[in-house]
Structure 1
Amino acid sequence: MSAAPQSLQEARLARARQSLEGLSIGDAFGEKFFLSFELIYKLIEAGLLPGPPFMVEDEFIVEQIIFLREVPGEKPWRYTDDTQMAMSIIEILRQHEAINQDALALSFGARHDRSRGYGAAMEDLLPRLWVGVPWQGAAQSLFQGQGSFGNGAAMRVAPVGAYFADDLDAVVENARRSAEITHAHPEAIAGAIAVAVAAAWAWRLRDEAVMPGREEFLNLILPSVPDSEVLNRIVEVRDLPGYEEITVQEVTEAVGNGEEITAQDTVPFVLWCASQHLNNYEEALWLTVSGLGDRDTTCAMVGGIVAMSAGAENIPADWASTREPLPTWPFADE
């Protein structure tokens, strides 16, 4: 493809990096709410929780910490595989100005870091990509040949939507390309498209004096999402009672919260959360983590979307400084 004008490429990369900032901080924030017993005891000793911990359910403990708006654990906040894979997307967009699937497959393999908490399927797949196994067959072979419909394609894709936010057709096409490398199942592809389009629309709405409500925002996204269970559940969250009339727990009971680690039970909840606080990054993240489930991933997705509508300046400065520094390789050749 012909190279984009430098000014366009610079603007697109700046948007993608802004989304990555929101995604990575959300990822690291959400990860803090998976509690170890060691951390629970420290919180009890600090007087932040009643003890002993074995008398209450873990989720009850997390809910109490969220109610107090305390982020548990030590600093810095460490990011997970959500951010690690999103950084590969930034690298490829910088080098190719589009999702080059062969290059992205190699980057996913080369940048694979076992300490970041990948799922079992990716721990099997990514080393194969690194040694040059064709991604097409490798991705399709997962889960008895149906491909993965996990939420991993959607968790990393918001920067694609931000990068191509000026061209919705390109958002859909490049989101699909980014997903297929590891998640060949149509549900995973639909989930990735939905999150990318949400990030694109969030950027397009950034200067609105009044942000659209949930129904209006989701109606902007729905036409781009392929027929799927993901689509059906987005319609379901669109049609739920108003924010003041329903609890987060009722929403997660209806459509999921990522507990099953699938696109179907993650993306609709994410879009519901983002749509409630398009102009407030911090509130969007507290709402999202209160749904529990796969909380690093749901917070990563919401963070990557809402950073585009609320703006980088709306991300709490202390959260940004507390997330561990990102490496330089996504942003410049080493």
Structure 2
Amino acid sequence: MSSPPYARSACASLDGLVMGDAFGDSWFTLSGENVEEQWAARRLRPTPWRWTDDSAMAFVLFAHLAARGEVVPGVLAREFAAEYARDPGRKYGASMHEVLGRIGAGEQWRAVTTEQFGGQGSYGNGAAMRVAPLGAWFRDAPKEAAAQARLSAQATHAHPEAAAGAVAVAVATALAAAGAGRDAPLRAEFLEEVAGYVPGSDVGSGLRVAASLPADTPVRRAASVLGSGWRISAPDTVPFALWAAAGHPDDLPEALWQTVGGWGDRDTTCAIAGGVVAARTGTGAVPADWLAAREAIAVWSGWTPEPTAPQTLPRQIM
């Protein structure tokens, strides 16, 4: 029996996310290295390419969906904390060390997340970086993808901007997956459509600015206008990553080359772009040497190259 479309799309998106994460992280360099020259020459970085917290949390979210078919924030928070405790050396951000450590120690997840940053909650890019496979999971229902992405953000990020970033990435991935096999929309049209699902926020405003950039805008210019994750926030990460993905919807390797050229939080921007584009294209065009360089996907996540139907189907969309 063949797999349902959402399973194939979600597995492809996870594959692309991990590829982007590991590829992007390889471009964090030592002082004095001329990465601009290496990037311009399309010269790959030394191997192996290890994935980071972007992928570690995406594995947890993917396994959670496979088991439940929907997001249960409190359960997901504890699952994130358990994986963090098992392997904390995956470049988690400072606030996540605290959040996941406290949840793992038994504190109530919602109290922990809402206490961050003086009671505002974190508006970092962590909820957005891991969510692309969820969008592919709900590829035929972008409104449901948005709702589930918002729930997934709550597990670690209480700030509305973090949720808006997760919604934007999930919807972009759902739309990309649903459009597989058809002509891709123009970049501006795609970004405007995604922005229509994002609640009033800096993330949504950033998407509309991204949509307004001229078609021939160089990647450095886009990064200077939109931000490329230097602040590690959702508003300063998601619009650029989706701008980069929307510019190369049928070419995953080129999408990653362009995304990393914005520098910034390059593992996360590439994870987002990779997850979105791969949901549409798959990863068949990824060069063999890239795949050989990348650390393997965690088998416990339930990911398979040729996915079979998960035990639990997505719940009915009413």
Check whether TM > 0.5: yes
SS class of match (1:21): helix
In structure 1, which of residues 192, 195, 220 is the aligned counterpart of residue 169 of structure 2? Answer: 195
Equivalent-residue separation in structure 2 for 1:82 and 1:90 (angstroms): 12
In structure 2, which of residues 79, 90, 104 is the aligned counterpart of residue 130 of structure 1? Answer: 104
- Alignment-mate amino acid for residue 100 of structure 2: L
CA contact 1:274–1:284 (8 Å) conserved in 2: yes
Alignment partner of 1:92 is 2:64: yes
Q: Deviations over 1:121-174 (max 9, x none)?
A: 000010122233221111111111100000010000001100011112210111
In structure 1, which of residues 47, 65, 70 is the aligned counterpart of residue 43 of structure 2? Answer: 70
Larger Rg: 1
Equivalent-residue separation in structure 1 for 2:287 and 2:154 (angstroms): 34
Counting only pairs closer than 5 Å after superposition, residues 168-179 of structure 1 correspond to structure 2 as 168-179=142-153
Alignment partner of 1:24 is 2:42: no
SS class of match (2:301): coil
Taking only aligned residues, the RMSD between alpha carbons, in angstroms, comes to 1.7
Q: Normalising by the residue count of structure 1, what TM-score does the alignment of the two structures yield?
A: 0.87
Between 321-330 and 120-129, the greater mean CA deviation after superposition: 321-330
Alignment partner of 1:329 is 2:300: yes
Counting only pairs closer than 5 Å after superposition, residues 266-277 of structure 1 correspond to structure 2 as 266-277=237-248
Alignment partner of 1:287 is 2:261: no
In the alignment, what sits opposite 2:83?
111
Counting only pairs closer than 5 Å after superposition, residues 136-155 of structure 1 correspond to structure 2 as 136-155=110-129
Equivalent-residue separation in structure 1 for 2:285 and 2:279 (angstroms): 10
Equivalent-residue separation in structure 2 for 1:101 and 1:155 (angstroms): 17
Equivalent-residue separation in structure 2 for 1:315 and 1:179 (angstroms): 29
In structure 1, which of residues 293, 312, 321 is the aligned counterpart of residue 283 of structure 2? Answer: 312
- Alignment-mate amino acid for residue 60 of structure 2: S
CA contact 1:108–1:129 (8 Å) conserved in 2: no
Equivalent-residue separation in structure 2 for 1:145 and 1:188 (angstroms): 14
Equivalent-residue separation in structure 2 for 1:197 and 1:278 (angstroms): 15
Equivalent-residue separation in structure 2 for 1:318 and 1:106 (angstroms): 36
CA contact 1:206–1:311 (8 Å) conserved in 2: no
Q: Deviations over 1:41-69 (max 9, x none)?
A: xxxxxxxxxxxx4xxxx5xx111110111
Equivalent-residue separation in structure 2 for 1:36 and 1:236 (angstroms): 33
Equivalent-residue separation in structure 2 for 1:283 and 1:29 (angstroms): 12
Q: Deviations over 1:3-36 (max 9, x none)?
A: xxx988x543332221110000100000010012
Alignment partner of 1:226 is 2:199: yes
* Runs of 5+ unmatched residues, structure 1: 1-5, 38-52
In the alignment, what sits opposite 2:226?
255
Equivalent-residue separation in structure 2 for 1:7 and 1:106 (angstroms): 33
In the alignment, what sits opposite 2:51?
79
SS class of match (1:115): coil
CA contact 1:278–1:306 (8 Å) conserved in 2: yes
Which structure has more RCO (C-alpha within 8 Å, separation ≥ 6)?
Answer: 2
Equivalent-residue separation in structure 2 for 1:300 and 1:254 (angstroms): 20
Equivalent-residue separation in structure 2 for 1:162 and 1:141 (angstroms): 31
SS class of match (1:253): helix
Equivalent-residue separation in structure 1 for 2:127 and 2:236 (angstroms): 13
> Percent same amino acid at aligned positions?
43
Q: Normalising by the residue count of structure 2, what TM-score does the alignment of the two structures yield?
A: 0.91
* Runs of 5+ unmatched residues, structure 2: 304-309, 311-318
Aligned length: 302
* CA shift for structure 1 position 322: 2.0
In the alignment, what sits opposite 1:34?
28
CA contact 2:22–2:51 (8 Å) conserved in 1: yes
* CA shift for structure 1 position 321: 2.8
Runs of 4+ in 1 over 6 A off after TM superposition: none
